[in-house]
Amino acid sequence: MKTKTYVKRLAAAAVMGLTSLSAANAAEDTIKFGMCYDLSKTYTFVTPQITQAAQDLATLTNMKGGIGGHEIEIIVQDHGNEPQRGIECYEKLKREGVFVFDMLSTPVSIAVLPRIMKDKNILIQSLVGRGDAADGSVFSQIFPVGPTYWGQAANDIAYIKEQSGGDMKGVKVGFAYLDYPFGQEPIEILKTLAEKEGFELLLYPVPLPGSDQASVWTKVRRDKPDYVVAWLLAGGHVVAAKEMKRNGFPISNYISVNWLNEVDIANIGAEAAIGLKRGTNVAGGQDLPIIQEILADVYGEGKGAGPVEKINDVYYNTGLAIYSAAFEAARLAMEQSGFPVTPDSMKAGYESIVDFDANGLFAPITVTADDHGGGGKTRIEMWDGKTWVPQQDWTAAYTDVIWDVVKESSSKFTVE
């Protein structure tokens, strides 16, 4: 759909002629989203862009009458990537009337999830957290809209298989990963696919924070994998690029997790990074209708939530993707059940999203009561020295394998 049409749809139920809402009404009538994020420690390479994007999209929507005549309110608080602080943030915002939460941290999401389920609130779990939370029949309140790490890793293997002529027997795939839950998440899926496809899986754990990789890449030089799939963050990719060069491993055979952005490319060097690949869940660049509208209507009016240069970053696009889906769910909730939006109506709104892509911002998603992930599509992009070039269409591979693992894992979950 066209972006202007999408934004108009968000405001479709707005009162005729409404252009803004009074501050007095806003306190009672807002639709609240709680962003309990790591703003001070591990994930500061990504959280400023995502929070800025969410706030900018809320501003754009509010300028057009909000959702059903009600403003969106984004509440941001720091949890420092500490599970206990995440729980405290959840309890505090819950007392303030928030029932839709976003933690953007695997350990914090895992810690908060049982409370969300027990309270029957809503947890946005895009790109982090439990992979089995895509099973909406078990995790009724959790919405990992977009690809899980399991799905993204499976899609990477499908790309390597395609590059290997459709036969992976004899192919060596290295997996370099930060040795904590985020990095470890894809390992079981990779082992399952290695057995299924006949490739050799080589594991390369990287100690936190990812700055010491010398021994890892010495081992890579000795093992000679055909590809290295990397679950690293920020500066970890920069260190890996230096070690690849030192050890003679071609950067074109490196496939990063989605957490690699324009800052990392600049730190590696635009020329040195040519050929590097990443799996991605969103389209990159500023040449997208929704971003052009934000630049014109939000930043053009001096209402941006942060520096305009932060917009030229794939993590900003990621924030727009997460909250475009969330606002669409709220719009559908209002359309179906009116105001106030409740946890039940928000859940139903999410589960009513069909073939939605925010006008090309991400792969079309369809969320159902059984599939809270929306399809799990990603694509491989390659850095050509100036921009990211898609190497394939949006795809979701090995979905049968993924769902077998999802079901096996989710069947063990209970709410205490």
Predicted pLDDT of residue 178? 96
Predicted pLDDT of residue 139? 98
Within 8 A by CB and 6+ apart from 256, the residues are 230, 232, 237, 276, 277, 278, 279
- Residue 17 above 70 pLDDT? no
pLDDT, the chain, mean? 92
- Residue 73 above 80 pLDDT? yes
Distance CA 356, CA 363 (A): 8
What's the whole-model pTM score? 0.90
Within 8 A by CB and 6+ apart from 338, the residues are 68
Q: What is the DSSP letter of 42?
A: T
Predicted pLDDT of residue 28? 65
SS3 201: strand
Picking from 7-11, 64-68, 223-227, 243-247, which range would have the lowest pLDDT averaged per residue?
7-11
Q: Could you report the per-residue pLDDT of 146-158, keeping only the tens digit for each?
A: 998 999 999 999 9
Cβ atoms of 353 and 366 within 8 Å: the answer is yes
Predicted pLDDT of residue 404? 93
pLDDT tier for residue 352 given thresholds of 50, 70 and 90 = very high
Quick one: average pLDDT of 323-336? 98
Quick one: average pLDDT of 329-342? 97
Q: Could you report the per-residue pLDDT of 392-414, keeping only the tens digit for each?
A: 999 999 999 999 999 999 999 98
Q: Shortest CA distance to 260 belongs to which of 281, 232, 282? A: 232
Beta bridge partners of 290: none
Q: Shortest CA distance to 93 belongs to which of 36, 30, 131? A: 36
Within 8 A by CB and 6+ apart from 356, the residues are 324, 325, 328, 364, 365, 366
Quick one: average pLDDT of 33-54? 96
- Residue 1 above 90 pLDDT? no
Quick one: average pLDDT of 10-27? 38
Read off the amino acid at residue 352: S
- Residue 13 above 70 pLDDT? no
Predicted pLDDT of residue 18? 36
Predicted pLDDT of residue 9? 53
pLDDT tier for residue 416 given thresholds of 50, 70 and 90 = confident
- Residue 415 above 60 pLDDT? yes
Quick one: average pLDDT of 215-235? 97
% of the chain residues with pLDDT over 90? 88
Domains of the chain by range and CATH?
A: 3-147+284-375 (3.40.50.2300), 150-280+380-408 (3.40.50.2300)
Q: Could you report the per-residue pLDDT of 132-144, keeping only the tens digit for each?
A: 999 999 999 999 9
- Residue 291 above 50 pLDDT? yes
- Residue 342 above 60 pLDDT? yes
